[in-house]
Amino acid sequence: MMRKTDFAFWTFLLMTGFAGAATVLNVTQTHSATTSNSDLYRQLDLFGDVLERVRSDYVEKPDDTQLIESAINGMLTSLDPHSAYLSPKHFRDMQVQTRGEFGGLGIEVTMENGVVKVVSPIDDTPAARAGVQANDLITHLDNEQIVGLTLEQAVEKMRGPVNTPITLTIVRKGQDDPLELKIVRDIIRINAVKSRREDDVAYIKVSTFNEQTHTNLVRAMQSLEKEIGPSLKGFVIDLRNNPGGLLDQAIAVSDDFLERGAIVLTKGRNNEETQRSQARPGDIAEGKKVVVLINGGSASASEIVAGALQDHKRATVVGTRSFGKGSVQTIIPLGANGAIRLTTARYYTPSNRSIQAKGIEPDFVVEQELPDELKAKAKETRVRGESSLRGHLKNDKDDKEASGSSAYVPKEPEKDTQLQYALNFLRGKINGPATTSAPTPEPEKKAN
């Protein structure tokens, strides 16, 4: 039995697991070998020789289990940025994570230049209350350096029992000296859907796609429809900085607004592995206008929803270009030995667009206004995108790859340029684009 998943990018949630998991599918996949059996066995003999030499001659006695797990993970991570080995513990943690409840700090992170970079703190968690901010660089954990650790190892050190403290040493732009933040671990409950009334518009923020997303979205929409009543002008579905999650939840959310037609196509290596998800009759919004907000932090499952509603012209997409992760991962259990997360398919929008390393381009490009203190650091608010990840899958349609876009979203709604544009659009005050196209940033230069 396998689980098909749609992960945003190689981002870990500092709780008790990884981001994402998915619909259980009864799928058996067989692929023809790319080399002859004799060549394969010869290479396995080489692996065995190296393993034995490490076990016998390494300066310290290595842990055999760790050696094998590291070798497996090295093989998988060399394929693309989203394939990986999950140890039994991490596999169990991932299964818990998809239910939307975890234990830990409440930080979404990635690895950059050997240190852990905060993608964003999760609202109402110990990390957010302690003052952790997006783009913070975590250099030490309880005064021990992170440099030299993998992202997974760093995440493991940040996990721990509830009510136990950990001290994070943080380097922050604009601060001369490192900051030390003491955070007490806690149970993190992720509310994937938050909603509020914006006068005559229903605003719904979807932060991730876990097992509760579809149900909570429907509940939020019904509640706001009842509260606002006949004066309701439409819905804003905010997918900004949503890294993705469960594929089946992205399909269900898209289906909520569509009466018919394809939602997403997934294509594996072989033609017989192509699957098409179809919408069922019924539009929960009852034909009212919908605006979907996206930005450089909107990835995978978010892009499926935005692409489906955009292709069917059911929603107007506003914001900046999305992340560009157009691949699907399958969780393949290995019994008592954990699981592997393997990229098994690419996904396409209903009009057969591949967004891999390209992203979803909004109908109306609206750049977020930056506060004065960030204007001089505009590049720091820009997510680099899938095309910047080492070893990423190339766009198989030869579409031009695109770099990332801004991921900054102000906390105050009145300062949120993209939200205000969406509200005015739904109220009929705006009918055209704010800009003709998104600005193309200069490519990042890296030293070798």
Rounded to 5 degrees, what are φ and ψ at 188? -105, 120
Using DSSP bridges, classify how beta strands 339-348 and 84-86 pair: parallel, antiparallel or unpaired: antiparallel
Residue 58 falls in which region: left (phi positive, over 0), alpha (psi -120 to 50) or beta: beta
Question: In angstroms, how far is CA 309 from the centroid of its own chain?
Answer: 19
Give the pair of three-digit tokens for residue 233.
Answer: 């002008």
Q: Among the options 186, 238, 311, 416, which is catalytic?
A: 311
What Cα–Cα distance (Å) separates residue 147 from each residue in 150, 153, 177, 220? 8, 11, 18, 43
Candidates 325, 327, 387, 406; catalytic one = 325
- Respond yes or no: is residue 358 known to be catalytic: no
Neighbours of 191 (CB within 10 A): 15
Burial class of residue 25, CB neighbours in 10 A (0-12, 13-18, 19+) = middle
Helices (H) and strands (E) in the chain, counts: 10, 23
In 3-state terms, what secondary structure has residue 199? coil
Catalytic residue among 300, 302, 387, 406: 300
Query: Does residue 242 contact residue 274 with C-beta atoms inside 8 Å?
Result: no
> Within 13 A of 314's CA, how many CA atoms are on the CB side?
27
d(CA 82, CA 343): 7
Q: Which of 236, 196, 242 is nearest to 421 (CA)?
A: 236
Annotated active-site residue 182? The verdict is: no
Q: Catalytic site residue 405?
A: no
Which of 22, 418, 6, 433 is closest to 239 using CA atoms?
A: 418
| Positions marked catalytic | 300, 311, 325
